[in-house]
């Protein structure tokens, strides 16, 4: 699981924030677009790093 998370983190860290909106921009309102442009990638990276350090298995 840790290897997969690292692969995902490497991929996300290589993307730019604007690329996340590609193809989905028309489905979102302006507030959601602003969140995606400014915070979604960094928030996701932070949460994935936290999960990697403290995994929760069900």
Give the model confidence (pLDDT) of 7-58 as tens digits: 999 999 998 887 888 888 788 999 999 999 999 999 999 999 999 999 887 5
**Report field, pTM of the whole predicted structure over 0.95:** no
For the chain, what's the residue count? Answer: 58
CA-CA distance, 48 to 31, in Å (whole number)?
24
Greater confidence (1 vs 53) lies with 53
């Amino acid at each position: 699981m840790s290897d997969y998370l690292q692969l995902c983190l490497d991929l996300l860290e290589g993307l730019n924030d604007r690329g996340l909106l590609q193809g989905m921009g028309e489905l979102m309102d302006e507030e959601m677009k602003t969140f995606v442009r400014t915070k979604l990638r960094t928030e996701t990276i932070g949460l994935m790093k936290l999960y990697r350090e403290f995994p929760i298995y069900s």
